Chains A and B, each alone.
Chain A
Amino acid sequence: MKFSDFICKNAIRTQLEADQKEAVIRAMTKSLLEAGRINEKDYESIVEAILKREELGSTGIGRGVAVPHTKHPSIDKLIGTVAISDQGVDFESLDGEKVHLLFLLVSPPDRPGDHLRALENISRQLRDDTFCRFLKQSKKPEDVWQLLEEADANKFGS
Chain B
Amino acid sequence: MSTPVTRVIVIRNEQGLHARPADMFVKLANQFNARIVLVRDNYRVEARNIMDLLTLGAGPGTELVLEAYGDDAQQAVEALAQLVESGFPKEDAENEQSQAEGE
Contacts and interface: CB of A to CB of B under 8 A. Distances in A.
B20 A56 contact: yes
B8 interface: no
B40 to A, nearest CB: 11
A114 B25 CA distance: 21
Nearest to A45: B102
Interface in A91-136: 94, 109, 112-113, 115-117, 119-120, 122-124, 126-127
A123 B50 CA distance: 9
Interface residues of A, number: 31
Given A52-B98, A72-B102, A94-B23, A113 B51 contact: no
Contacts of B39: none
Q: From A69, A73, A119, A122, name the one whose CB has the most chain B CB atoms within 10 angstroms.
A: A119
Given A49-B102, A112-B14, A57 B55 contact: no
A59 interface: yes
A67 interface: yes
Interface of B: 14-20, 23, 26, 49-52, 54-59, 94, 98-99, 101-103
The 6 closest A-B pairs by CB, nearest first: A120-B57, A123-B54, A112-B15, A116-B16, A61-B50, A124-B55
